[in-house]
Homo-oligomer: A and B are copies of this chain.
Amino acid sequence: MGAHYAGRKEKIKTPTVHEIATLVDGRIEGNENTPVIGIAPIDQAREGFLAFIAQAKYDSHLQSSPAAAIFVRPDSPPSKQTCLIRVDNPYLAFVRVAREIFAIGEPQRYGVHSSAQIAETAQIASGLSIGVNSTIEEDTVIGEQCTIGNNSTISKAAHLGKGCQIANNVHIAHGVILGDEVIVQSGAVIGSDGFGYVKDGDIYYKIPHLGTVILEDKVEIGANVTIDRGTFGETRLKKGTKLDNLIHIAHNVIIGENTVIAAQSGISGSTEIGESVIIAGQVGFVGHIKIGARTTFCAQAGVTKSIPAGKIVSGYPAKDHARAKREEAVIRQGPELLKRVRKIEKFLKKNVADFDGE
């Protein structure tokens, strides 16, 4: 697997510790001219590599790693053998170097493949990469430096900002609007019709979905996610919100900035989620409720009503997490509690003539 760690932008031949420390404003302990040939986690870093240690429990590697350099915390112990670069957040510094110097995680750019179908009325910026068998339909607008994978479709009148990354087998439906630097992983469907019907007797009639979906700048969407368009108006994910895989977002949902949602959670129609909310995996929300900013939802919570800002919530029906833990503690001793009540009843029956309990 070593090859995965060795990619490197051409513009810097082999970076030195000095160049790396400069990028992240780090303080060097050791030889700043040490060359760095690749990056790796601390337990896999070979000679010449850069690693990081964010947690004290891994500090023992400081005396044994063959790495050329290690990002460490301001308060990490010194190393007798390895060049250290002290930074406030070693993990963040490592990630920046991985992206900006070693170019790992950047999409490859191939240009527009000859098999791609691009409508005459599509407005296509420069620096694009469009993969095999993808389709850019009429009246679309695709911003600079976008990357679109294979077998994906950007449907009629959809707009993509600059630097969006659309993977394979994705459907960006008609009229959907993406800001800049939006990432959509493979198999996601953005702008499917919502689950809306009018019932007449036993029969359900499909409501035409006239709205759209808006994904603001730096929103990221996991694999096989589905986001329905508004019935009227819009479904909107605000700036910087991140979705894991297999999530369902129903019609007319609004999600605030910098909210993160883990895999397999689902949000029903017209619910509004605040900013900087944290939602764990397999959480469900009913429709038409409001969730305050900076709330946290534990895994598998079933949220049946609006929740004010700042709460931590768990369980079904979802409630204050501390209270839920106390209630669970009682459930855990339920069988014993039942015995204690029986014992009291038996005692009263035996010792107090007229108690007829149970």
Contacts and interface: CB of A to CB of B under 8 A. Distances in A.
Interface stretch (A10-18, A56-64, A67-75, A196-204): A196-204
Q: Which of A98, A104, A207, A299 has the most CB of B within 10 A?
A: A299
Interface of A: 1, 3-5, 39-41, 44, 89, 91-92, 95-96, 98-99, 104-105, 108, 113, 115, 117, 131-133, 135, 149-153, 156-157, 167-169, 171, 173, 175, 183, 185-187, 189, 192-193, 195, 197-198, 200, 202-212, 220, 222-224, 226, 228, 232-234, 240, 242, 244-246, 248, 250, 257-258, 260, 262-264, 266, 268, 275-276, 281-282, 284, 286, 299-300, 302, 304, 315-317, 319, 326-335, 337-338, 340-341, 343-345, 347-348, 351-352, 354-355, 357-358
Q: Which of A92, A156, A223 has the most CB of B within 10 A?
A: A223
B198 A91 contact: yes
A333 B330 CA distance: 10
A281 B149 CA distance: 31
Q: Which of A152, A262, A345 has the most CB of B within 10 A?
A: A262
A210 B6 CA distance: 10
Contacts of A117: 113, 115, 132-133
How many copies of this kind of chain does the complex include? 3
A104 B234 CA distance: 16
A95 B327 CA distance: 47
B222 A105 contact: no
